[in-house]
């Protein structure tokens, strides 16, 4: 059957359901360059406005996977399970979680990304460790999964190349928010990486991509259904992101906090989410009796982290970069911290140099924000609320202004919101 891009665009524009053949044809044509960017832009906008049925999303995802290679992890001698987070402020969970789950007997093929905007990227954080390599060949990746039990690296160019093209296009055409396109983008890469099971951390709140729980729930359900449709056992948790995770927001500062967690300490919320996700991952991997809390206590998780860092060229004992310029913001009233706005703190970290506005921008390893108080904490006049850190003092005034309304103080302790909101599975 002969297809044309205009016919496919019109069909979706008018609220129709695309056939498998139409989806396969347009995805293949776009990957090869036979379908123009402006035509795929029009289709993406039609999908944003008209939506897609579950079978359409499943086929769209399948076509994106088919645009490239699919890794075969059958040679790895442990059950494989991965985690994906939709991103948030201070979300360093991949760093302690990956070696922790590996220490408990699973293999974690963690393909991660870089930050854009106010949410930091896992690879940017890891590159603040001297010598750490985030690019591995497929052979290195597989060998490390069998040896160390975990790898955290960039996805190879051969995995779902259609997604790479479409992601860049969505970024500049106002179609990033389309749930079918978000779900298929995330799941095409995760399914192509070959993992046997997947746990999704879908963030909800001011510092998250999804600010409303209804949106987040729809995205979670869509991704769980996609996993099932492609034979990958998948569970999603909806977790709060109106307050930053932990006390550190940036790159090196988040690595340092992750190492604290692996040493058996660290902020309570980071430990809670790390252990909750670890239990979900181990359960899906067929290891329900493994005890991740014990692996944090007895040093196995730290040993696993050190092995992972060394395997990827890093020095786990090297000093992390420290920003030369700092400014502490203090409370002007007595009371209790009621909110610490994740979005505003994230914007401040970004302005300090911890994030990037465009994919090609560099990031500062040492820049970021350190929180001294969290919701529920009492404060007196003069107590430190947070600390701004930068390589360049000229960056601090704009960051100070961005964060000015981030911390609210009230006369009575606030009602605290649970971190883990819902489970979709």
- The CATH number given to whatever domain includes residue 21 is 1.20.970.10
Report, as residue numbers or ranges, the catalytic residues: 84, 163, 170, 185, 189
In a domain, 256, yes or no: yes
Tally of CB atoms within 10 A around 78: 18
How big is the CA angle at 376 (ends 349 and 220), to the nearest 5 degrees?
Answer: 65
In a domain, 110, yes or no: yes
pLDDT at 156: 83
**Which residues contact residue 63 at a Cβ distance below 8 angstroms, ignoring those fewer than 6 apart?**
23, 24, 27, 28, 162
Chosen domain end from 278, 311, 344? 311
Shared domain for 150 and 294, answered yes or no, is yes
Shared domain for 116 and 236, answered yes or no, is yes
Shared domain for 345 and 291, answered yes or no, is no
Shared domain for 190 and 126, answered yes or no, is yes
pLDDT at 51: 96
Shared domain for 11 and 109, answered yes or no, is no
Pick out the chain residues at pLDDT < 50.
none
In angstroms, rounded to a whole number, what is the distance separating the alpha carbons of residues 155 and 59? 22
Across 56-145, the runs of DSSP E, i.e. the strands, are 82-85, 108-112
Shared domain for 343 and 400, answered yes or no, is yes
Shared domain for 300 and 342, answered yes or no, is no
C-alpha distances in Å from residue 134, one per residue of 129, 156, 406: 11, 11, 33
Domain extent for 330: 325-410
b/e map 38-51, b = 16+ CB within 10 Å: ebbbbbbbbbbebe
pLDDT in tens, 242-299: 999 999 999 999 999 999 999 999 999 999 999 999 999 999 999 999 999 999 999 9
C-alpha distances in Å from residue 97, one per residue of 122, 269, 273, 355: 12, 13, 9, 22
Across 13-140, the runs of DSSP E, i.e. the strands, are 82-85, 108-112
In angstroms, rounded to a whole number, what is the distance separating the alpha carbons of residues 246 and 89? 9
107: DSSP letter = B
Shared domain for 172 and 260, answered yes or no, is yes
Indicate the number of domains in the chain. Answer: 3
Shared domain for 122 and 192, answered yes or no, is yes
In angstroms, rounded to a whole number, what is the distance separating the alpha carbons of residues 336 and 75? 54
Shared domain for 384 and 304, answered yes or no, is no
Q: What rounded mean pLDDT belongs to the chain?
A: 94
- The CATH number given to whatever domain includes residue 166 is 3.40.1030.10
- The CATH number given to whatever domain includes residue 406 is 3.90.1170.30
pTM: 0.94
pLDDT at 1: 55
In a domain, 112, yes or no: yes
Shared domain for 118 and 204, answered yes or no, is yes
pLDDT at 153: 94
pLDDT at 113: 80
In a domain, 220, yes or no: yes
- Of the CA atoms within 13 Å of residue 333, those in its CB half-sphere come to 10
Q: Can you count the helices (H) and strands (E) in the chain? A: 16, 13
In a domain, 69, yes or no: no
pLDDT at 213: 95
Shared domain for 332 and 299, answered yes or no, is no
Tally of CB atoms within 10 A around 260: 18
Rounded to the nearest 5°, which phi and psi values hold at 49?
Answer: -80, -35
Whether 151 and 144 have beta carbons less than 8 Å apart is answered as yes
Question: Position of tokens 């070696």?
Answer: 99
């Amino acid at each position: 059957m002969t297809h044309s891009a205009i016919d496919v665009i019109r069909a979706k524009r008018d609220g129709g359901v695309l056939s498998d053949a139409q989806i396969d044809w347009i995805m293949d044509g776009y990957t090869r360059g036979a379908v123009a960017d402006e035509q795929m832009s029009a289709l993406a906008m039609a999908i944003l406005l008209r939506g897609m049925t579950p079978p359409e999303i499943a086929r769209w995802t399948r076509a994106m996977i088919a645009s490239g290679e699919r890794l075969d992890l059958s040679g790895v001698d442990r059950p494989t399970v991965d985690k994906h987070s939709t991103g948030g402020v201070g979300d360093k969970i991949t760093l302690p979680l990956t070696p922790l789950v590996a220490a408990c007997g699973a293999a974690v093929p963690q393909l991660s990304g870089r930050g854009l905007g106010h949410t930091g990227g896992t690879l940017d954080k890891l590159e603040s460790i001297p010598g750490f390599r985030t690019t591995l060949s497929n052979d290195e990746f597989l060998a490390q999964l069998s040896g160390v039990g975990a790898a955290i690296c960039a996805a190879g160019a051969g995995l779902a190349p259609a997604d790479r093209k479409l992601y860049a296009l969505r970024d500049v055409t106002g179609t990033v928010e389309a749930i079918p396109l978000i779900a298929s983008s995330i799941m095409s890469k995760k399914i192509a990486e070959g993992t046997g099971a997947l746990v999704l951390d879908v963030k909800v709140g001011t510092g998250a991509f999804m600010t409303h729980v209804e949106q987040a729930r729809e995205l979670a359900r869509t991704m769980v259904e996609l996993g099932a449709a492609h034979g990958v056992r998948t569970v999603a948790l909806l977790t709060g992101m109106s307050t930053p995770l932990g006390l550190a927001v940036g790159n090196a500062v988040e690595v340092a906090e992750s190492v604290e967690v692996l040493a058996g300490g660290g902020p309570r919320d980071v430990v809670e989410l790390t252990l909750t996700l670890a239990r979900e991952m181990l359960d899906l991997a067929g290891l329900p009796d493994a005890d991740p809390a014990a692996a944090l206590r007895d040093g196995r998780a730290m040993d696993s982290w050190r092995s992972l860092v060394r395997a990827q060229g890093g020095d786990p004992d090297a000093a992390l970069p420290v920003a030369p310029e700092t400014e502490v913001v203090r409370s002007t009233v007595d009371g209790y911290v009621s909110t610490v706005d994740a979005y505003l703190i994230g914007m401040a970290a970004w302005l300090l140099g911890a994030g990037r506005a465009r994919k090609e921008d560099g990031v500062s390893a040492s820049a970021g924000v350190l929180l001294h108080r969290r919701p529920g904490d009492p404060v007196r006049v003069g107590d430190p609320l947070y600390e701004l850190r930068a390589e360049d003092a000229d960056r601090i005034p704009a960051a100070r202004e961005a964060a000015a309304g981030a911390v609210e103080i009230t006369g009575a302790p606030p009602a605290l919101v649970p971190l883990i909101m819902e489970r979709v599975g």
